[in-house]
Structure 1
Amino acid sequence: MKKLATGLLSGMLVLGLLAGCGQKGAAPAPGGDAAQEPSQTSGSLKIAVVPKLIGIPYFNASEQGAKQAGEDLGVEVIYTGPTQADAAAQVKVIEDLISKKVDVIAVAPNDPAALTPVLKKAKAQGIKVMDWDTKADQSVVDLSVQQVDDEVYGRHMADLLVQAMGKEEGNVAIVTGGLSAQNLNTWIDWSLKQIQEKYPNLKIIGEKIGTDEKQQVAYQKTLDLLKANPDLDGILAYSTVAPLGAAQAIQEKGLQDKVSLIGVALPTDSKPFLEDGSLDTATLWNPVNLGYLTVAAAKELAEGKTIENGQDIPNIGKVEVKEDGKTVILGPPSDFTKENAGDYNF
């Protein structure tokens, strides 16, 4: 039944979404771990961009965009973060950045509440505070750069899973990255709301399964999930490594035609799993552009400027600004399938 996902409605949706994000000039992601050196520029502004962790493809791609923006806009970009998705390690990174007297700190928090004290300390010393990719404490941040509208994205993932399954009933599991990650939890909440409102005959199996942003953990926990639930019909996977581990487990067990999988993942990483059907659809955005937009927005913030709704950001395009006036949205998501995954270089 899951092969019904290739119907006309799904195809039209994919084409529409790709038109929104896919044309924004992606560059290839760097191959190695994210460096902690500033981009080579003589700019007077110092902008620090702190990911959840360094060394995974998603944040490597964001680093490339951030550093390219630094070169294009004439600001110094320091891209640095912990090697594990750990809030305490992020606090140490931010403490170091405060001592370096940077002008802006933009952070993708592993645990928003855990970072509030150190972000308040940064603000007390005159440093502008932003979040990007994942929301921090909104009472602290001056500007928030987000990938997509959370509600649209979460609901979209639930719709994609039903399309892949080819039916509106069955057993579904939730696999995620860090259990405290605000963006992942928000998307999950909206997916569950969409299921409750639109697909009441879908049953969620157990609690959401955390994988600590590690593909190997996602692989092992999905194996356990499949063994414990032989009647499982679908999996929703959040974070860019969780879908890969889940797909690896489905592939190993030969369950491509039984268990549908939708996940937040990069097209290049997803391609082998998309091709054999262990991952039905990967949905994301361009992380290179996200890094670029973060630095562009940080420069505007440092210079006392305001980004307006519909403003055209060079190399990015028009962005959406929410009603709160401080949340900037990169754009709609893109869906990646076995037919189009090879068209992208991130």
Structure 2
Amino acid sequence: MKKFFLNLLSVMLIGGVLSGCVSSNTGSSNDGGSDGDSANDKLTIAVVPKLIGIPYFNASEKGALAAGKELGVEVEYTGPTQADAAGQVKIIEDLISRNVDVIAVAPNDPAAVEPVLRKAKDQGIHIMDWDTPANNVDISVRSVDDEEFGRHSAKKLIEAMGTEEGEIAILTGGLSAANLNAWIEYALKEFEENYPGIKVVTEKIPTDEKQQVAHQKTLDLIKSYPNLKGILAMSTPAPLGAAQAIQEKGLQDKISVVGTALPTDSLPFLQDGSLDTAVLWNPSNLGYLTVALGKLLAEEKQIEDGMNIEGIGEITVLEDGISVIMAPPADFTKENAADYDF
């Protein structure tokens, strides 16, 4: 009997803890005439990255949590440990069961998360995407304009190569990542339209968002294409792995590498020329902007073109009224990378 009561007490305690994780903005009644100013009435914004544990999404988390603190909202930053669409679906299902106010997801596979996002929307939860577009969202938070970014990255590779002719290869993170696919497609258009002497030997080599995979795939490329002159690497671990392979082989003067990477991670490779240029933006600002716009969305406030977001600056809202562009791309080189702390 004593064991029975101890088990019962444990269940009651666990239930109490879990109930405290549920957003208070669930439409529950206030029979006692509460004015709704308790801590439980805070908006809860869940930010779901492609995966946790890599520098890019660690920096995004830092910005998202800072926004939560400054703007007075609860922020839950949670994602799978691998770039896995099924893992994201499970996490979103859990967030739905706790009835958070806003879910902002950077989908590994937009098609895979679409049904669960629709379920969340049917329950009255506001849906956003960030970093990578999803379908049927209320707001789409984009770091940059996809076409501008893709074409700019292609031009930076040509500039690094010092020639408009030769063989190049393209690394990517995951084949289903919509943002990476868009950047690559626009880069390919730039090569095709303006650099006919460029031969793309392979368009999308997946690296699973892992530096070590990008490293091995680059070693394979070097062996398979002895005349390779350039590598364009999309996804933040990919250019680091590619540069690592170039560094090991001592091919800094033969093969140019341009890709999406953080300046702090890129600095050792930029300094010895194994990475020519890292093209990106401030991911901490992207995390901050996502939470700031999530709060406006939950409060049903209008998000307008040219609106100034404190700490971010003016944003661009496209004609669809949904897509928000944070800023133009930034180039990090051996001359300026040490000036940044992300």
Q: TM-score, normalised by structure 1?
A: 0.87
Deviations 1:71-121 (A, max 9, x none): 111000000000000000000000000011100000000000000000000
Aligned-partner residue type, residue 76 of structure 2? I
Cα distance between partner residues in 2 of 1:207 and 1:310? 36
Deviations 1:211-243 (A, max 9, x none): 000000000010001011110000000000000
Quick check: 1:251 aligned with 2:223?
no
Residues 140 and 322, structure 2, Cα contact 8 Å, conserved in 1: yes
Aligned-partner residue type, residue 156 of structure 1? H
1:267 corresponding residue in structure 2: 263
2:340 corresponding residue in structure 1: 344
| Aligned residues with identical type, % of pairs | 70
Residues 171 and 203, structure 2, Cα contact 8 Å, conserved in 1: no
Moved more, 204-213 or 233-242: 204-213
Residue pairs, 1:139-288, within 5 angstroms: 140-288=136-284
Quick check: 1:313 aligned with 2:309?
yes
For residue 179 of structure 1, report the CA deviation from its aligned partner: 1.0
Cα distance between partner residues in 2 of 1:344 and 1:123? 38
1:18 corresponding residue in structure 2: none
2:74 corresponding residue in structure 1: 76
Aligned-partner residue type, residue 153 of structure 1? F
Deviations 1:121-169 (A, max 9, x none): 00010000000000001xx200000000000000001100110011111
Cα distance between partner residues in 2 of 1:64 and 1:161? 30
Aligned-partner residue type, residue 74 of structure 1? G
For residue 207 of structure 1, report the CA deviation from its aligned partner: 3.8
- The structure with the larger Rg is 2
SS, match of residue 78 in structure 1: strand
SS, match of residue 135 in structure 1: coil
1:130 corresponding residue in structure 2: 128
Cα distance between partner residues in 2 of 1:265 and 1:306? 33
Residues 263 and 278, structure 2, Cα contact 8 Å, conserved in 1: yes
Cα distance between partner residues in 2 of 1:77 and 1:126? 18
Aligned length: 306
Q: TM-score, normalised by structure 2?
A: 0.88
Which one of 292, 297, 309 corresponds to residue 293 of structure 2? 297
Cα distance between partner residues in 2 of 1:126 and 1:263? 39
SS, match of residue 196 in structure 1: helix
Cα distance between partner residues in 2 of 1:323 and 1:178? 29
Cα distance between partner residues in 2 of 1:207 and 1:174? 5
Residues 258 and 277, structure 2, Cα contact 8 Å, conserved in 1: yes
2:50 corresponding residue in structure 1: 52
Cα RMSD for the two superposed structures? 1.2
For residue 292 of structure 1, report the CA deviation from its aligned partner: 0.1
Quick check: 1:91 aligned with 2:85?
no
Deviations 1:297-322 (A, max 9, x none): 00000011121111110111011111
Aligned-partner residue type, residue 206 of structure 1? T
Cα distance between partner residues in 1 of 2:158 and 2:311? 35
Aligned-partner residue type, residue 107 of structure 1? V
SS, match of residue 236 in structure 1: strand
SS, match of residue 173 in structure 1: strand
Show structure 1 runs of 5+ residues with no match: 1-36
Cα distance between partner residues in 2 of 1:208 and 1:117? 27
SS, match of residue 45 in structure 2: strand
2:18 corresponding residue in structure 1: none
Cα distance between partner residues in 1 of 2:122 and 2:148? 35
1:9 corresponding residue in structure 2: none
SS, match of residue 102 in structure 1: coil
Cα distance between partner residues in 2 of 1:257 and 1:286? 29
Runs of 4+ in 1 over 6 A off after TM superposition: none
SS, match of residue 141 in structure 1: coil
Cα distance between partner residues in 1 of 2:323 and 2:203? 30
Deviations 1:176-225 (A, max 9, x none): 10111000000000000000111011000024100000000000010001
2:101 corresponding residue in structure 1: 103
SS, match of residue 257 in structure 2: strand
2:6 corresponding residue in structure 1: none
Cα distance between partner residues in 2 of 1:147 and 1:239? 13
